[in-house]
Amino acid sequence: MEKGASEADPSRGRNGFVGVLYGEFSDVLNDRVRYSVSLTESALTIQRISSSPGRTKVVFNLADCIGCRAHRAPDAADVGAYFTAYFYPFKRRWMSAGVARQRVEQCFRVALVQEPLANLQEAERWARAIRDASALQAPRRDGVVYAELRRPCRVLILVNPHSGRGQALQLFSAHVQTMLTEAGVPYTLVITEHQNHARELARKADLSQWDALVIMSGDGLLFEVINGLMEREDWQQAIQVPLGILPGGSGNALAASIHHYSQSPPAWNEELLLSCGFMLCKGLVGSLDLVSVQLASRQRLYSFLSLAWGFVADVDIESEKYRHVGPIRFLMGTLVRLASLRVYQGRLAYLPVRDARRPPKAGRRSDPEPPEGGARTRTPAPAPAAPLLPALDQPVPDSWTVVREQEFVLVLAVYQSHLAEDLWTAPGAAADDGLIHLFYVTAGVSRPALLRLFLAMEKGGHLACGCPHLVYERVRALRLEPVTPQGMITVDGEVVEYGPVQAQIHPGLARLICG
């Protein structure tokens, strides 16, 4: 007969997890194989009970645990009950070097007595204790202040079935759905049907129903959601709803950046999806800077990733025709554009960090609960102030740096570390550093030199290439004035009105599910 707990039932009190559990349980496939299991505030330790010396002990860090559930056996004649814990520790890859998060399931049979209900209650006690302890052990970075999603967290997930290679829905079903079930996260799935569908939903939804909005797509769908939230009358509350990203597109820049910020080893494809799904299940929330972008038509957009003109914008849009091949589309687009390299005449000005007062962080509530009564009529709040930006038809202040009118190959302002899964564009960037990382490349750069820059960007080494045509500045605001009559400007990978444009950082305006 199994031994029960030797200590008091652990609970989550004011000071967190209290107590230790110990028990002896059977293997789910073989009753003759038994394990001693002990739970502390930070680990689950499992050891096979054997008369042989040198028993194998396995220790699972609760920071890697996303959930635990208790359940009855499928066989009604089985009086035992079970509890299953789900871990995603870093393990060595099967076919390549390095480590990545991989799923590990640990299941035990509880048969203390011949009474099925009593056994189920004991299994539930263990499952609850493991969940409570693991909730307090989410991986945190030193010096970063986090909020936590409410538990159970109600999540609205928006999936673009056409993003990337058109596999986002299949990836969700194969990977994310299982993780959310294991973590006990209830969710509602909405499949977007047309362009700007997510924007309309974010603008009109009753956000009191949700604790988080999660995007399963490329970066374009999150651009829609953020701008939909900022178009609401109650935008100040709406933009505080935590946002999550699950990579399902071609570029997946924000997903790659969040993974990088978590200080995890590099990951791509399904491994990156697993990492972002893990962070969603752990439920830590941090700050996210947004950038307001003003166009010549006076339209104002909100950006979380990038503003691009020239080579990068051309590659992003022109490579759409290669979408079916996945992330390699950007390499194909780069090679095609290099073959007929364009230059663009224009003017650039920016407010460098050394001369800029950092705009204050947006006001923040003490908890991540969404606004109540999203459908109520209320007085519209004014848009976020942009005190660093003069009117577009006015000259920039003397404190700005003005780059003389000349020919550019590209101008790129980015506010995350990655521009794609394999483009580590701003190695020093953080989601809430209050900075725009400005890069520009002037005319005269050779095709081989430009190619070397982008190849070096895979490992963040482009700034060490010594290219005299590449300039990098950390800024708070910028203005771009194209002179060449034709070209493309993109914001977060989406084409916007071509013409003069300026932008300013808004530190901590939004919130992001991260690790």
On whether the CB atoms of residues 4 and 20 are closer than 8 A, the answer is no
Q: Which helix (H) or strand (E) holds 512?
A: strand 501-514
Cβ count within 10 A of residue 397: 13
Radius of gyration of the chain (CA): 26
Chain position carrying tokens 């390549």: 96
On whether the CB atoms of residues 286 and 146 are closer than 8 A, the answer is yes
On whether the CB atoms of residues 416 and 426 are closer than 8 A, the answer is yes
CA atoms within 13 A on the CB side of 476: 19
Report, as residue numbers or ranges, the catalytic residues.
219
> Is omega for the bond preceding 152 within 30 degrees of 0, making it cis?
yes
Identify the CA nearest to 140 among candidates 289, 285, 271, 39: 285
On whether the CB atoms of residues 371 and 237 are closer than 8 A, the answer is yes
Identify the CA nearest to 98 among candidates 248, 259, 262, 271: 271
Please, is 479 exposed, middle or buried when counting C-beta atoms within 10 Å of its C-beta (0-12, 13-18, 19+)?
A: buried
Retrieve residue 202's tokens. 């974010």
The SS3 of residue 168 is: helix
The SS3 of residue 375 is: coil
The rounded distance, in Å, linking the Cα atoms of 2 and 265 is 40
Chain position carrying tokens 């700007």: 196
Instruction: Compute CA 66 distance to the chain's CA centroid, rounded to the nearest angstrom.
Output: 17
On whether the CB atoms of residues 57 and 45 are closer than 8 A, the answer is yes
Q: Which helix (H) or strand (E) holds 119?
A: helix 116-135
The rounded distance, in Å, linking the Cα atoms of 244 and 170 is 19
Residue 35: strand pairing partners: 25, 48
**139-to-40, 59, 150, 434 alpha-carbon distances in Å:** 17, 17, 17, 23
The CA-based dihedral angle spanning residues 308, 309, 312, 314, taken in that order and rounded to the nearest 10 degrees: 130
**229-to-202, 236, 302, 426, 506 alpha-carbon distances in Å:** 5, 9, 10, 27, 15
What's the helix, strand, coil split of the chain in %, to 5? 25, 30, 40
Q: What is the DSSP string of 217-281?
A: E-HHHHHHHHHHHHTSTTHHHHTTS-EEEEE-SS--HHHHHHHHHTTPPP--HHHHHHHHHHHHH
